[in-house]
Structure formats: C-alpha cells, structure tokens
Amino acid sequence: MWDNYKTFTIPEAVHKQLEFSDLVVVRPATLNMKFSELVDLIENVSDGVVKNVSAYLEYSSIPDHLPKLEDDIREMPFIIDVLNRQQLNIWFSDGNTLGKLHFDPFDNFLCQISGQKQVLLFEPHDNTRLYEAHIPEAMLAYNHSTKQFTRKQLTESTSMVMSPVDIKKVDFKRFPKFASTFPLNCTLNEGDVLFMPSFWWHEVQSVPNRKEKRNLAVNYWYEPFLNKEFPCPTCKLDVNPKYRHLL
C-alpha cells in the first residue's frame, strides 16, 4: 500500500531485530506553518470547515519554538534541582488524537490545560506481556494540489519502540500474555497533572474542550531516575547512576 513498497527492503541488520515485521507504525504527514496558521487550522477543523483532518502540534519544545510561553509555566517546585530536566513540550490539537501504546525513557509530568486526556497505564516490570519491540515505520504525505493524504514511504528507521498490541481490539491468539496485564485508567481534566515514571506504558486519547473545541497540554521530561535497556522485554529497571547520590 506504500509508494515505495516495490523497491523497499529492510536492511538485514535491522530486519533481524524485528519480531513483528508485518506491522507498521504510521507517522503522520507534517506541515511547516506559523503558529497563528495552526490556530486557524484547528479552529477550521473544530468548526467542520476542514473535514477528515486532525491537526496536532506534538512534543514541540517550548524553549526552542515558543520561548515567551515559558514564563507562564511553573515547574513543580519539589522536583527542581532534584531531577535533570530534558525537555518542556507543548501538545496542541483539535482534541481528536490518539497516542498508541508506548513508553518514554523519561520521567514525565503531564499537565492538562484545556480539554481532557484519557490515559491507560501499564506498569513496566514484565514487558513480555506488552511484547516490547521495534516496529517498522512509515510516513504519510500531504498533496497540496489534490488536498489528499498519501502513503508516502516505508522507512529504514525502526527507532520507535512500541507495543504491537491494539488494545481496542486485542488479538489474544497472537498476543496471549497481554491477557495478564492490569491497566490503570486515568482521566486528566483541566488543571490536573499526572506523573508518569519512565518506561510506564501509556495510550492517550485526547478529548477537546467543549467551548474552545481544542486540547492543550504541556509536559516536562526529566532524565529518568530508573533506567533500562530497550527494546528488551526481560530487562529490569535499575537506578540511573547519575542519581545514586539521592539514595
């Protein structure tokens, strides 16, 4: 189904690492635009002027791209000078977005400002049940002339570590161990902050604010207190050597 499928081959060194080479993580098409244009696009999507599109500015660095906003955001005082901050990000969309099941190698404070997020969490202490693995990636493209999205290309990159399990429609024959997981369901309303330790699996469904019809959150990523090798479903978490002085 991809433009380059006839000529594309996964490098052998990469292919050896793929347990689920038949599955594909699809990266959304990207556009470069001014922030004001993004706001207009989100309003047009929310009002139904633009259909069959979801617009999302995701994990974009506030210090790099919107530095004036940093003065409006207060870092959690009890974590300052304890963990090493890596990134401060903005997540801004029409609110109809889904982040599929994955983990981040950071300690994460997710701060909900507008709209709502439904977060399903899975603990990381037996990742064989989540089938932790590299998944092949592909990119969508957007054609400005036809106003159509197309399947652009499969990529050689498999840097994305995901769970291959579709938790909304689980194939228990293929992924039987997933039946022994115990997810936590967390709803983030406006003003709520959720702490997600490093390597906790999460799937995030966003919901727009009823009045503004958009979703806005910021998050802090810190160098993790607990670290591990990945992808490695059987590897255990251990204290990051940079934080041993805190023990």
Using CA atoms, how far apart are residues 213 and 88, in angstroms rounded to an integer?
A: 24
Candidates 196, 245, 204, 186; CA nearest to 224 is: 196
Range with the lowest mean pLDDT among 65-79, 143-157, 182-196? 143-157
pLDDT surpasses 90 at 5: no
State how far the Cα of 215 lies from the Cα of 237, in Å rounded to an integer: 33
Alpha carbon distance 114, 211 (integer Å): 10
Which parts of 99-236 fold into alpha helices (H)?
none
Is the pTM higher than 0.85? The answer reads yes
Cβ-Cβ contacts under 8 Å for 187 (sequence gap 6 or more): 116, 117, 118, 119
Q: Are 105 and 224 in contact (CB under 8 A)?
A: yes
Average pLDDT over residues 151-159: 77
Q: pLDDT tens digit string along 213-236? A: 999 999 999 999 999 999 999 999
In the chain, the domains with their CATH numbers are 12-246 (2.60.120.10)
